[in-house]
Structure 1
Amino acid sequence: MDTASWRALAEQMSTGLALVDGELRVTWINPALAEWLDAGPRSAVGQPLQLLLQEPDWLAQAGRALREAEVVQWRGVILRTVRGREWTADVALQPVDGGLLLEVHVLAQPVGGASPLSATLRGFAHEMKNPLAGLRGAAQLLQRRVGDGDLEALAGLVIAEADRLASLANRLLHHGGAPRLGPVNIHEQLEWLCGLLQAEPEPPQLRHDYDPSVPDVKGDAERLQQVLLNLARNAIEAGARTLTLRTRVEHGLRMGDRVLRMALRVDVIDDGPGVPAALRDTLFEPLVSGRADGTGLGLALAREMAREHGGELRFASRPGETVFSLYLPLERAHE
């Protein structure tokens, strides 16, 4: 594998990786390690290794690895980041091309770190990155070998979705990573969702009930796509055969202790069996699922992303009709 291909694969891995030159300065770092060290991938390049790792013993050990061309390993060490947080990790330094390859396997979350929900989602994001890299590579091989234009397009769809999920994972793993807000046409996002669902082996019947007067919302397009996809997937996996996508504008909406002057409501309506009564109070909590093979992360993730946008996710359910409603403030789009 050439250097460019190796780095492209390493960018998707959950293992922390960095390359260090003969002067023990970082020449490249993958997003996973940059996130753990509270450093941006670009700002970390050129930094001395001991500055990032905040350990006096690193310099001597790394120098020995370079001089003697041997692997140096630490087990269960404490990594102190540039912001003073601490992680427990296994670390290895391996000589490569006149420099060192740094490999970091984080073993524990920092004390006083993320909330239980965020910690669950971050753990999920770590776990999904390596399979995504393999999925993307397989789809690329298929795209090169198939002669059928439709199959090539489907392989391209797999690659695009793998890239989108990898980007989502990186942003979930980034400490304090805020949504990248900009004008979003919600109907374009819903049409994207329809295109994705229609590529399913057994696509649901799709209906539209759009309010054409709905203005753009201020949001992160990728994260809103993920919310909509999670709601649709949840409905289909629960047994729905028909989905209705509806948009409306609401006025004077109460959300907690706030009253929104104007809000966008996006409804995903399905004809499935409904939410079981035993799950209704905890449906948006992580690891809560009505299916034996469910992860219980889809709705938890969707609600967290809705709240990142100053919005909320609600539902109403009875057999034959379940409505999940995404509410987003519209006044923010015009600030």
Structure 2
Amino acid sequence: MSDLQSKSWAEQMSTGLAVVDEGLRVQWINPALAELLGLGLRHAQGQPLIAVLQDVEVAEQAARSLAEQRSVQCRAVLLPGGQGNQRVDVSLQPLEAGTLLVEVHALAETPLAVSPLSATLRGFAHEVKNPLAGLRGAAQLLQRRLDDADMQALAGMVIAEADRLADLANRLLHHDGAPRLGPVNLHQLFDRLGELIRAEPSSPRLRHDYDPSLPDIEGDADRLQQVMLNLARNAIEAGAKTLTLRSRVEHGVRLGERMFRSALRLDVIDDGPGVPAALRETLFEPLVSGRADGTGLGLALSREIAHEHGGELRYVSRPGETVFSLYLPLPPRTGVAATTGRAHG
């Protein structure tokens, strides 16, 4: 059995996982897959893969994956099991010692009309999970072997970010659209963003201009962090040399169809060349990017997260100064008064 079996996180994952040997017999299965199949953990172990998944094509693809030592994806497989017939995606990944990792993602029933963004994000989330697992494993090895405390801290940052992104990917795959709300300190989000940006190979100069009176809000910290990271990375990739992270309270703000007496505004300001004129009308649409190697998902996802929180994402741009602003509604009776903020480099 691979190291996967000894890791408690694999037992707790909501994704169905199994490891089969070179004879395509199940060596190990996690509770999520056992529940999906309606099988007991002990009953499944030692069974042929074809008997567990009841799909000839998956068994054939598993044999090919082992023989050619390469990953294989099986899409929309009809899987009989304890939760009724349903479609799943099956990922087959060769491991060491002639074993094979089987990863099963249940496909939730969705309306016939699926937005291009949702479909694209789901496909992206599926493909990103294996690289994230490899990244996390490499960072763990580095963290154990490095003696320098600063280097260990950087490796720990990589592990934490890989875990956060893997969680986001799982939530996209399982169509868990509701944000996980809790108290969020917006300046802690900015501070965390600063740590991540400083770890970049060619990090820009960072300036902070905070309104210290801002209260905590109810939100999904991981998703809001992702918005800030997307905006900062876009600015860096566009050639920004300086980033300013600014927070303010703004009064009399319309968000969607509602007028709010006060709203929080988080700005990411850069000194790059600005948004190209040809992209300004479609900048927040999925698959729109100003770079040849861009995916066009970052801003589309960021706007979707803003809408989840009842807010909006806006920008103004000219050469030398581009400002992306995340607006979030401020609950009434918070006792916040607008201030001029305090800036520091």
Short-chain TM bin: 0.7 to 0.9
Check if 1:49 corresponds to 2:37. yes
Question: Within 1, Cα distance between the matches of 2:176 and 2:36?
Answer: 24
Q: Is the 8 A contact 2:87 2:107 kept in 1?
A: yes
Question: Within 1, Cα distance between the matches of 2:224 and 2:250?
Answer: 19
Deviation per residue, 1:87-140 (Å, 9 max, x gap): 365699xxxxxxxx9754779985626422111112111111100000010111
SS for the counterpart of 2:153 is: helix
Matches within 5 A, 1:140-289: 140-289=140-289
- Number of the residue aligned with 1:300: 300
Q: Is the 8 A contact 1:146 1:152 kept in 2?
A: yes
Deviation per residue, 1:135-154 (Å, 9 max, x gap): 01011111111222222221
Q: Is the 8 A contact 1:241 1:270 kept in 2?
A: yes
Matches within 5 A, 1:92-103: none
Question: Within 2, Cα distance between the matches of 1:118 and 1:182?
Answer: 24
Once the two structures are TM-superposed, the CA of residue 71 in structure 1 deviates from its matched residue by 3.3
Structure 2, unmatched stretches of 5+, are 20-28, 58-75, 93-100, 335-345
Between the two proteins, what is the percent identity of the paired residues? 67
TM-score (norm: length of structure 2): 0.74
> Relative to structure 2, which stretch is displaced further, 270-279 or 144-153?
144-153
Check if 1:28 corresponds to 2:6. no
Question: Within 1, Cα distance between the matches of 2:272 and 2:132?
Answer: 30
- Number of the residue aligned with 1:57: none
Matches within 5 A, 1:128-139: 128-139=128-139
Once the two structures are TM-superposed, the CA of residue 332 in structure 1 deviates from its matched residue by 7.3
Structure 1, unmatched stretches of 5+, are 20-26, 34-44, 52-62, 93-100
SS for the counterpart of 2:162 is: helix
Once the two structures are TM-superposed, the CA of residue 256 in structure 1 deviates from its matched residue by 2.4
SS for the counterpart of 2:164 is: helix
Once the two structures are TM-superposed, the CA of residue 260 in structure 1 deviates from its matched residue by 1.5
Question: Within 2, Cα distance between the matches of 1:179 and 1:245?
Answer: 24
Question: Within 2, Cα distance between the matches of 1:267 and 1:108?
Answer: 36
SS for the counterpart of 1:331 is: coil
Check if 1:71 corresponds to 2:73. no
* Equivalent position amino acid for 1:49 in 2: L
* Equivalent position amino acid for 2:37 in 1: L
Question: Within 1, Cα distance between the matches of 2:142 and 2:91?
Answer: 36
Q: CA RMSD in A?
A: 3.6
Name the CA shift for 1:288/1:104 in 2 (closer, same or farther; >3 Å): same
Q: How many residues align?
A: 294
Q: Is the 8 A contact 2:36 2:82 kept in 1?
A: no
Q: Is the 8 A contact 1:279 1:290 kept in 2?
A: yes
- Number of the residue aligned with 1:39: none
SS for the counterpart of 2:223 is: helix
Once the two structures are TM-superposed, the CA of residue 174 in structure 1 deviates from its matched residue by 2.7
SS for the counterpart of 2:157 is: helix
